[in-house]
Amino acid sequence: MKTKSYLAKNYNRKKISFFKGKGSFLYGTNGAKYLDFVQGIAVNSLGHAHPELIKAINKQSKKLWHVSNAFIIPEGEKLAKKLAKKTFADSVIFQNSGAEATEAAIKVARRYFYSIGKPYKNRILCVKNSFHGRTLAAIYASGSKKMIEGFGPKIGGFDHFEFGNHKSLKKKIKKNTAAIMVETIMGEGGIKVIPNWCLKGLRKICNQKKILLILDEVQCGVGRSGDFFAFEKSKIKPDIVPIAKGIGGGFPIGAVLMNKKVASGMTPGTHGSTFGGNPLAMIVGNTVMDIVSKKKFLNSVKKNSSYFFEKLIIIKNKYPKIIKEIRGEGFLLGIKLYGDQKRFIKLLMDNKLLTIKAAENVVRILPPLNVKKQEIDLAIKIIDKVCEKYK
Ligand SMILES: *Cc1c(COP(=O)(O)O)cnc(C)c1O
């Protein structure tokens, strides 16, 4: 059956839809039940229809949905305090999406240098073929030819270096550089983890050159890596961190976290958002935060994700001609294939496991952070079966 779609064709959608979700599972309109290891691309951090999120949003929906940021929003004050207490941050600005959060991060960096009388320091140094979102500035920040095609004129102010190329990184830092902005773990770019010693190196360079470090944790943050933030294991402190995906548990929330130094530039009127931080969103964010930021919860993410990783390594060793590498950290995992990853993902879907592609022929695996061990076992069984078929 082919029905006309009135949606623009900017997505190549899979011919499948769902009517219900529960925990790690999605129920298709085709009658099939799927193990959902996409979770809205790392968005549903607590799976589908989490009872505490349902309770929180139901209760708040009867009280108050939206008021302007012209007034104090206590639910937002509360979430900002929790984020600050848990992390490096001293201040937070709420947004509605990842791209907005990364753009706000860029604004905070530029505004800081403006406020200290160095407005010429305004260029942001990013990784080539990274991902920071789809707004105009974000696509130019990402430095991907494909994403900017047809969307000129160019938005200036971004320079790029190759992932892992330290020489090119150092060479690209100029007098007018304001900040280095990188994803702590590249998501769309193929699940590439910046090792601890490189994070430390980045911090050191930024200190030496007196520039800011922005770590985009829109995908890898909020517990997905096993720590609340993926950079925590390196013991460094960034200056600015945009987050989004996981913090809303399925409700659109973005935020930019910053230290006191850079927050000083964000005086009244410098930034704003009509929807950002409204009571309904903030109630959900608070509920996600209360669960995800607990040490016990994060320890379970660490433990279960290591279990998953080990099982994936066993599969890789069983099919060394199919799987080149297992990548990632926590529940941001990737299977790098030698061959076509799209056919592999299709086979997984035919066997009722949903995954999503990333660059470099990687199959991206994003379970909910509260996934059960037997669900991991089920996924492993399906991946094993698909490897057998894929040969
Ligand atoms: C998804 C993502 C974004 C963009 O988020 P949107 O909500 O789609 O705007 C930005 N940065 C990273 C690292 C992401 O993974």
Beta bridge partners of 335: 326, 363
Query: Which three-class secondary structure string do you get for the chain?
Result: CCCCCCCCCCCCCCCCCEEEEEECEEEECCCCEEEECCHHHHCCCCCECCHHHHHHHHHHHCCCCCCCCCCCCHHHHHHHHHHHHHCCCCEEEEECCHHHHHHHHHHHHHHHHHHCCCCCCCEEEEECCCCCCCCHHHHHHHCCHHHHCCCCCCCCCEEEECCCCHHHHHHHCCCCEEEEEEECEECCCCCEECCHHHHHHHHHHHHHHCCEEEEECCCCCCCCCCCCCCCHHHCCCCCEEEECHHHHECECCEEEEECHHHHCCCCCCCCCCCCCCCHHHHHHHHHHHHHHCCHHHHHHHHHHHHHHHHHHHHHHHHCCCCEEEEEEECCEEEEEECCCHHHHHHHHHHCCEECEEECCCEEEECCCCCCCHHHHHHHHHHHHHHHHHHC
Pocket-testing residue among 102, 106, 243, 275, ligand 1, by greatest number of atoms within 8 A of Cβ: 102
How does pLDDT run across 78-107, given as a tens digit for each residue? 999 999 999 999 999 999 999 999 999 999
The residues near 74 (Cβ < 8 Å, ≥ 6 apart) are none
Ligand 1 centre to CA of 329 (Å) is: 18
What percent of the chain is modeled with pLDDT above 90?
99
Pocket-testing residue among 184, 245, 253, 273, ligand 1, by greatest number of atoms within 8 A of Cβ: 245
- Alpha carbon of residue 132 to chain centroid: 9
* Residue 193 to residues 131, 164, 198, 209, 334, Cα–Cα distance (Å): 14, 10, 10, 24, 11
What percent of the chain is modeled with pLDDT above 70?
99
| pTM for the whole structure | 0.98
Where residue 391 falls among pLDDT bands split at 50, 70, 90? confident
What phi and psi values does residue 120 have, to the nearest 5 degrees?
-70, -20
Q: Which atom of ligand 1 is the closest one to the Cα of 219?
A: 15
pLDDT for the residue 98: 98
Angstrom distance (rounded) from CA 223 to CA 292? 6
Pocket-testing residue among 215, 218, 273, 357, ligand 1, by greatest number of atoms within 8 A of Cβ: 218
Ligand 1 centre to CA of 138 (Å) is: 9
How does pLDDT run across 131-165, given as a tens digit for each residue? 999 999 999 999 999 999 999 999 999 999 999 99
- Residue range 43-47: average pLDDT? 98
| Residues near ligand 1 (Cβ within 6 A) | 97-99, 102, 131-133, 183, 187-188, 216, 218-219, 244-245
Q: What residue ranges of the chain are covered by domains with CATH 3.40.640.10?
A: 64-292
N- to C-terminal Cα separation, the chain: 32
Angstrom distance (rounded) from CA 277 to CA 254? 9
pLDDT for the residue 2: 66
Ligand 1 centre to CA of 366 (Å) is: 15
Angstrom distance (rounded) from CA 365 to CA 41? 9
* Residue 11 to residues 3, 7, 28, 35, 362, Cα–Cα distance (Å): 16, 9, 19, 22, 19
Angstrom distance (rounded) from CA 248 to CA 230? 18
Q: Chain-wide mean pLDDT for the chain?
A: 97
The protein residue with its alpha carbon nearest to ligand 1, atom 11, reads: 132
CATH match of 18-50+297-390 with 3.90.1150.10:
yes
The residues near 28 (Cβ < 8 Å, ≥ 6 apart) are 16, 17, 18, 19, 34
Q: Is the dihedral of CA 284, 87, 178, 148 positive or negative?
A: negative
How does pLDDT run across 172-187, given as a tens digit for each residue? 999 999 999 999 999 9
Question: What top-level class would CATH report for the domain 64-292?
Answer: alpha beta
Angstrom distance (rounded) from CA 381 to CA 278? 43
Ligand 1 centre to CA of 129 (Å) is: 13
Q: How is residue 197 written in tokens?
A: 């010693």
How does pLDDT run across 364-388, given as a tens digit for each residue? 999 999 999 999 999 999 999 999 9
pLDDT for the residue 1: 56
Q: What residue ranges of the chain are covered by domains with CATH 3.90.1150.10?
A: 18-50+297-390
How does pLDDT run across 202-243, given as a tens digit for each residue? 999 999 999 999 999 999 999 999 999 999 999 999 999 999
- Residue range 331-348: average pLDDT? 96
User: Residue 202 burial by CB count (10 A; 0-12/13-18/19+): exposed, middle or buried?
Assistant: buried
How does pLDDT run across 239-274, given as a tens digit for each residue? 999 999 999 999 999 999 999 999 999 999 999 999
